[in-house]
Each structure stands twice: as C-alpha cells, then as structure tokens.
C-alpha cells in the first residue's frame, strides 16, 4: 500500500480507531492497542503522524504497562519539531522520569519546553505548573514559588486573571508550608481581590473561592485558632454548597491560558469535609468529627471506584489520622488500632504516601500506647516520630505528648526538663499555634501538680484556661478544669473544687472525653463523700464504675488484637507490610522504595489539568 504524505489517511484513522477501542475496552486490551499503534509505522507515515504515534505509544506503555524502556524510547522520539506534539511529549516524559526517580533528567526537559513555549499559552502555563510541582516535591519551595510567580505574571500579560489567581493561590499554599507568614498575608489579600473581581464561568469562580478559603481555614487551624476560623469555615461550607448546585459548563474558555481547573468539584467536597473534621477535632466536637468523617469516607469510596487519583488516598489517610485521635479520646481504642492498621495498608501502596505519613503513624501509635498504659512503647514511638519529621507543628505536638509520658513515669527528670525547655510557652515557643502553646501551659501545670507545687500549677492552668476559652478549645478546657478541681480538693477547698469539676464533667460528656469523665467522676465521688453528700457520692461512684468497665473492656479488646503488635514497630516498614511492599515496589526493573521526603498532600498534581 502506498504511503501518503497527507494525513489523515483512512488506514491511519482505522488503526487509531481500533487502538482507542482496545484501550477503552473493559478490561483494557493494551497489548492489542499497542499492536495497532505499532502498525502505523509499517505505512511509513508523514513525520507529524510518526511523532504523534510515538507519543501515543509512549503514553500507553508508560501508563498501562511495566515496559519502561520502550515507553522511554517512544517518548524521547516524540519530542520533535511539531508544536502540537513536543510540549505534550515533554510533559509526559518528565512525568515518566520522575516515576523512575530520574528527577534530574526531568527538569531540563521541562525547562527547555518552557523556554520555547511562550507563544503557546496553554502549554507554557501547564509546564510552569509541572516544574513548580516538581521543585515542591523535592522541598525546594523557593524555586517552586519563583516559577509560580513567573506563571502569575505571564497569565496577567496574557489577560487571564483566572489563571493568574491559580498561580498566586498555589504560591500562597507553598508559602504557608514554609511558614513565610509575612509574605502570605499580602498575597492572600491580593488573591481575595482578584477572585472577587473576576467575572467568568460560575464554577471556575467558586472553585477559586474554595481554594482561597481552604488556604485561609488551614492557616487558622495551623495557628490553633479554632474560634477565629469559624466565619471562614462557614463561608467555605456555603461555597461548596453553591458549587454542588451548579451544572458543569461545557463551553471552554476562549483564552487558551485559562484552560485549567484546580480540583474536580467532587474532590473539593471531600476536601471541605476534611477541613471541617480538622476543625471539629481541634475544637473537641468529636461526634461532629465522626459524622463528617463518615460522609467523607463514603464519598471517597465512591470516587475511588472510578478515579485512581493519588490525592484521594491522601485525603483518606488524613481523615483516618484525625478520626483515630477522636476514637482514642472517646474510649474506642480497639477501633482506633484497626484504623491505624488501615492507614499502614494505604501507605504501603505508595512510597511517597508512606514517607509523608510515617511520622504521623508513629505519633498515633504513641497516643494509642498512652491510652493502654504502655509507656515504654509510647516513648519509643514518639522518639521514632521525632526523627522522621521536620514539620514544626507536628514536632511540637510530639514533644508535648512525650513530656506527658515522662511526667507519668516520674523518673525521667533530666529528659523531661530538656524537653520542657524546648516548648517553653513563656519564652521562644517554637510555633505560632495558639492551641499547642495552651497545651504547653497545661503540661507545665501537670508537672507542678505532681511535684506538689500547687500555686505554680494553678498559674499555668489558669493560663491554659484563658487561652482555651479564647478559642473554644473544649478538650483543653475540660482537662484544665478537672486538674484545677483536683488541686483545690487536695488543698481542702471543696467548694472551689466543685466549681471546677462539675463544668469539667459537663464539657467532657459533651465532647465526649472518656478519660476526663473517668477522672471527673472519681473526683466527684471523693468530693461528695468528703462533704457528706452520700446520695451524690453514690451516683458519682456508679458513674465511675460504668466508665471504668467500658474502658477496661475496650482495653482488653484492643490488646487482644494482632494489630497490637504494631506498638513494637519503630523502624522501616510496618511488620506485615514488608513482603507486600517488596512485591509491589522492588520488582526487577522497578524503582526501589523512595525515601526522599515529599510535602504532604502533593501526591497528585492538580496544577495544570486541562
């Protein structure tokens, strides 16, 4: 058959049609798809068709097979002089290099494509997003922010305020990760103005508002300002309700620089559930946290049936991390332990997910160990977690909990004082979090109580109460009240003790916090007995007995689970994950487990999706 210099020829359209049919079959017939595409070369096609076919073959082999060498060969051949092929080929080839841990090969491919794509707005913006994300994954946030700044200015020149806002909001997200708050505030102010003034596709406008409000809400939550965040969180929830009522507009923007979106609206819904759970957890509304976690996980399961996007697994892990903490507080240790195991299994499916969340896993196991009174294991878990994180807020949270372990053990004075110096709430506290600073005052009060320095303990606990009340930190308020009640009881001031313990019990019941309820009921029993209130003392004793029985049964159930052995895991992969991960990640010709740290939540790029 004679080869034609003009495309498309009937033979080409037929082979392409068959290839696409086999690719989209259920299940996909990739081998037949590849055969059809390879057959194109038998006709000695024109250079443009040849380049496009190399791109298609490379893409199919990369995404659907393990034949990485052949995928690389085709993708490298696809980078030609043809504009409609070379930028897409550069984008996919750099993705391929990153998957193969060849990041240093990916960067020059993207840089060269960016240099020559300025006359092609869509690809220029997309490639800038892609290279910025690559730098962010390597923790080079300065280079990533520079590229996003270049993209924002390019989008402004090209007349796309929408894409300019996407670049600026992405830059704001990275600045928040770097804690460069002096740069974040003016940037978010500018973004707010751009978003409000931009008139365009309603879904695009609302998605920009969601992005903007998510950054504001997470900024408040990082700062532990649970009460101050409420207006922003309410706006965010209203915004996502608005988006869910809007129909997708099929009319594409006329400006090629605006052919992007941040997240699909279904993903945005899950994200809003997630930040709501984070808020409820910090505020101590644990039943509300449970309700929204259940909704989010149900939505995630539906999405994961149709969508393999790694960001969904990230959302799932973060949701589980928060609900595990809720379970430990509400006295459901066995369920918490099973969910910790579930997080381990999710993380073993992705090296990057494991790297991003291994410190959190050890922290959760440390909290579980405290709840079942395995203090040596708790210390080991927290120590392991400290070695695996550079995140200042998480580091401070771990140190605070490790200090509580040393206080309970009562014989680790040197280590304890060394830790307390590093989280001194009165001087150079390491983070700006209101919540963590309030917790540090509580830890100081707890230590002073155990040492019998009651006036000093009262000073620290009143500071905790003042800070907790200012931001509606209900769990810290309840813990501080019951400890103050205990101090007043020891000092013989029964009236003041009662004034503390009764609201502590009411608040603990509302949360509900099983440990504080147990502590409060024991104190109420002794308090009423000392005051001669026999009936009230009996009622409190009955409550205490009920709480004790519930906690004991749960304790036995948790310690009987095979997952309880996780408390001994402090290094490498979780015990039962090793063999599975070797099969998954260390197959011949496949990359080994990656250990370079990656920024949380960046498993899947949502920058620059068409």
Structure-token match 């099983």, residue found: 514
pLDDT of residue 590: 29
pLDDT of residue 250: 56
- Please check the confidence at residue 597 and state whether its pLDDT lies above 80: no
Q: Of residues 475 and 262, which shows the higher confidence score?
A: 475
- pLDDT value at position 121? 92
In 3D space, the residue among 185, 69, 87 whose CA is nearest the CA of residue 130 turns out to be: 87
Q: Give mean pLDDT, residues 115-140.
A: 92
- Whether 414 has a pLDDT exceeding 60, the answer reads yes
Q: Per-residue confidence at 8, pLDDT binned at 50, 70, 90?
A: low
pLDDT of 182 above 80:
yes
Q: Is the pLDDT of residue 602 over 60?
A: no
pLDDT (0 to 100) of residue 578: 42
Q: Is the pLDDT of residue 495 over 50?
A: yes
Q: How far is CA 530 from CA 374, 523, 537, in A?
A: 33, 10, 9
Stretch 126-147: mean pLDDT, rounded? 93
Where residue 556 falls among pLDDT bands split at 50, 70, 90? very high
Residue whose C-alpha is closest to residue 470's, from 438, 502, 446: 438
**pLDDT over threshold 60, residue 577:** no
Cβ within 8 Å of residue 58, ≥6 positions away: 71, 72, 73, 74, 75, 77, 78, 89, 92, 93, 96
Which candidate, 349, 249, 265, 263, places its Cα nearest to that of 299?
265
Residues 593, 578 contacting (CB under 8 angstroms): no
Is the pLDDT higher at 17 or at 382? 382
Distances in Å between the Cα of 450 and the Cα atoms of 82, 410, 411, 444, 457 are 75, 9, 12, 10, 9
pLDDT of 520 above 80: yes
CA–CA separation, 104 vs 88, rounded Å?
19
pLDDT value at position 565? Answer: 94
Place of tokens 């309970």: 408
CA 589 to chain CA centroid, nearest Å: 31
More confident position, 308 or 436: 436
DSSP string, 137-182: HTT-HHHHHHHHHHHHHHHHHTT-HHHHHHHHHHHHHHHHHTT-HH
pLDDT for 329 equals 95
| Helices and strands counted in the chain (H then E) | 27, 0
Three-state DSSP state, 601: coil
Supply the pLDDT for residue 439.
Answer: 96
pLDDT, tens only, 311-335: 999 999 999 999 999 999 999 999 9
Bridge partner residues of 609 (DSSP): 261
DSSP 225-275: -TTTTHHHHHHHHHHHHHHHHSPPP----SSGGG--BSS-HHHHHHHHHHH
Question: Is 139 in contact with 600 (CB distance < 8 Å)?
Answer: no
Exposure of 567 in the CB half-sphere (CA atoms within 13 A): 23
Average pLDDT for residues 343-352, to the nearest whole number? 88
For residues 208-225, give the mean pLDDT. Answer: 92
Length of the chain, in residues: 610
> Which pLDDT band, with edges at 50, 70 and 90, does 68 fall under?
confident
The answer, yes or no, to whether residue 166 has pLDDT greater than 80, is yes
Q: Which of 291, 329, 320, 310 is nearest to 476 (CA)?
A: 329
In sequence order, the β-bridge partners of residue 547 are none
Give residue 21's pLDDT band: very low, low, confident or very high (50, 70, 90).
confident
- Please report the sign of the dihedral spanned by the C-alpha atoms of residue 464, residue 466, residue 467, residue 473: positive
Q: Which range, of 21-30, 416-425, 459-468, 575-584, averages the lowest pLDDT? A: 575-584
- Summarised one tens digit per residue, pLDDT across range 384-395 is 999 999 889 999
Q: Output the CA–CA distances (angstroms, integers) from residue 181 to 148, 216, 384, 479, in the order listed.
A: 17, 12, 30, 31
Q: What b/e readout covers 528-547, taking b as 16+ CB neighbours within 10 angstroms?
A: beeeeeeeebeebbebbeeb
Around Cβ 325, how many Cβ atoms within 10 Å?
Answer: 19
The dihedrals phi and psi of 609, each to the nearest 5 degrees, come to -95, 135
- Cα gap 462→460, rounded to integer Å: 6
Report the C-alpha gap between 253 and 43 in whole angstroms: 38
Predicted pLDDT of residue 254: 75
For residue 407, the model assigns a pLDDT of: 95
Taking residues 85-109, what's their average pLDDT?
88
Helix (H, G, I), strand (E, B) or coil at 422: helix
Confidence of residue 586 (pLDDT cuts 50, 70, 90): very low
Instruction: Name the DSSP letter for residue 609.
Output: B
From the number of C-beta atoms within 10 Å of its C-beta (0-12, 13-18, 19+), residue 6 rates as exposed
Q: Which of 76-90, 330-344, 418-432, 479-493 has the lowest mean pLDDT?
A: 76-90
Cα–Cα distance between 581 and 164 in angstroms, integer?
41
CB neighbour list of residue 242: distance below 8 Å, 6 or more residues apart: 206
The answer to whether the beta carbons of residues 245 and 216 sit under 8 Å apart is: no
168 Cβ neighbours under 8 A, 6+ residues apart: 148, 152, 187, 190, 191, 194
Q: DSSP labels for 76-97? A: HHH--S-HHHHHHHHHHHHHHH
In percent, the amount of the chain with pLDDT more than 90 equals: 63
Cβ atoms within 10 Å of 314's Cβ, excluding its own: 22
Q: Can you tell me the distance from the alpha carbon of 463 to that of 294, in angstroms, rounded to the nearest whole number?
A: 35
Q: What is the pLDDT of residues 434-491, one digit of tens each?
A: 999 999 999 999 999 999 999 999 999 999 999 999 999 999 999 999 999 999 999 9
Q: Is the pLDDT of residue 585 over 60?
A: no
The yes-or-no verdict on residue 249 having pLDDT over 80 is no
Does pLDDT of 423 surpass 90? yes
Lowest mean pLDDT among 21-25, 114-118, 212-216, 227-231: 21-25
pLDDT exceeds 90 at position 522:
yes
CA–CA distances in Å: residue 278 to residues 243, 274, 285, 366, 397: 22, 6, 10, 20, 15
- Alpha-carbon gap, residue 188 to 597, rounded angstroms: 27
CA distance 572 to 207: 39
What pLDDT, on a 0 to 100 scale, did the predictor assign at position 608? 35
Q: How far is it, in rounded angstroms, from Cα 204 to Cα 181?
A: 27
User: Across residues 356-379, what is the average pLDDT?
Assistant: 96
| Over residues 47-51, mean pLDDT | 85
* pLDDT tens, position by position, 194-204: 999 998 888 88
Q: Do 220 and 210 form a contact (C-beta atoms < 8 A)?
A: no
**Residue 135: both structure tokens together:** 């730098």
């Amino acid at each position: 058959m004679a080869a034609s210099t003009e495309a498309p020829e009937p033979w080409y359209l037929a082979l392409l049609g068959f290839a696409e049919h086999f690719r989209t079959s259920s299940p996909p017939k990739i081998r037949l798809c590849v055969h059809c595409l390879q057959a194109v070369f038998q006709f000695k096609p024109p250079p443009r068709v040849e380049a496009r076919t190399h791109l298609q073959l490379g893409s199919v082999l990369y995404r659907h097979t393990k034949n990485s060498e052949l995928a690389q060969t085709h993708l490298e051949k696809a980078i030609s002089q043809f504009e409609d092929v070379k930028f897409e080929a550069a984008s996919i080839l750099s993705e391929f290099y990153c998957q193969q841990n060849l990041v240093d090969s990916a960067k020059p491919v993207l840089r060269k494509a960016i240099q020559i794509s300025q006359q092609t707005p869509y690809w220029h913006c997309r490639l800038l997003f892609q290279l910025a994300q690559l730098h962010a994954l390597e923790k080079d946030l300065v280079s990533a922010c520079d590229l996003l700044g270049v993209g924002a200015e390019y989008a402004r020149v090209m007349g796309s305020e929408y894409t300019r806002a996407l670049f600026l909001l992405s830059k704001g997200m990275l600045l928040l990760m770097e804690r460069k708050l002096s740069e974040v505030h003016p940037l978010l102010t500018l973004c707010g103005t751009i978003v409000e003034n931009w008139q365009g596709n309603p879904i695009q406008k609302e998605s920009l508002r969601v992005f903007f409000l998510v950054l504001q809400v997470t900024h408040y939550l990082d700062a532990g300002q649970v009460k101050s965040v409420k207006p922003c969180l309410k706006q965010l929830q209203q915004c996502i309700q608005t988006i869910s009522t809007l129909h997708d507009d099929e009319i594409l923007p006329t400006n090629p620089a605006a052919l992007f979106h941040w997240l699909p609206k279904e993903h945005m819904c899950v994200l809003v559930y997630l930040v709501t759970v984070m808020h409820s957890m910090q505020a101590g509304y644990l039943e509300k946290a449970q309700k929204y976690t259940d909704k989010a996980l149900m939505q995630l399961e539906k999405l994961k049936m149709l969508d393999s996007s790694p960001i969904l697994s990230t959302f799932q892990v973060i949701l589980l991390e928060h609900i595990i903490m809720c379970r430990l507080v509400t006295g459901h240790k066995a369920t918490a332990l099973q969910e910790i195991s579930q997080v381990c299994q999710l993380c073993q499916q992705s090296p990057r997910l494991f790297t991003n969340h291994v410190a959190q896993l050890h922290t959760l196991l440390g909290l579980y160990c405290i709840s079942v009174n395995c203090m040596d294991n708790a210390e080991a878990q927290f120590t392991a977690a400290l070695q695996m994180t550079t995140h200042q807020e998480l580091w401070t949270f771990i140190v605070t909990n490790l200090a509580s372990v040393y206080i309970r053990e009562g014989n680790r004075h040197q280590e304890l004082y060394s830790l307390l110096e590093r989280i001194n709430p009165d001087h150079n506290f390491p983070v700006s979090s209101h919540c963590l600073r309030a917790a540090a005052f509580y830890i100081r009060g707890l230590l002073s109580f155990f040492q019998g320095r009651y006036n000093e303990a009262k000073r620290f606990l009143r500071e905790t109460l003042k800070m907790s009340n200012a931001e509606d930190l209900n769990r810290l308020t309840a813990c501080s009240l019951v400890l103050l009640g205990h101090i007043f009881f020891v000092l013989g001031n029964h009236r003041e003790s009662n004034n503390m313990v009764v609201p502590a019990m009411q608040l603990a019941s509302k949360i509900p916090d099983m440990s504080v309820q147990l502590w409060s009921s024991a104190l109420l029993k002794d308090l009423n007995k000392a005051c001669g209130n026999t009936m009230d003392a009996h009622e409190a004793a009955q409550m205490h007995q009920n709480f004790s029985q519930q906690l004991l049964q749960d304790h036995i159930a948790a310690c009987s689970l095979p997952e309880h052995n996780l408390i001994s895991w402090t290094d490498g992969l979780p015990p039962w994950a090793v063999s599975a991960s070797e099969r998954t990640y260390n197959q011949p010709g496949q990359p080994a487990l990656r250990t370079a740290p990656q920024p949380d939540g960046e498993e899947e790029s949502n920058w620059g999706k068409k």
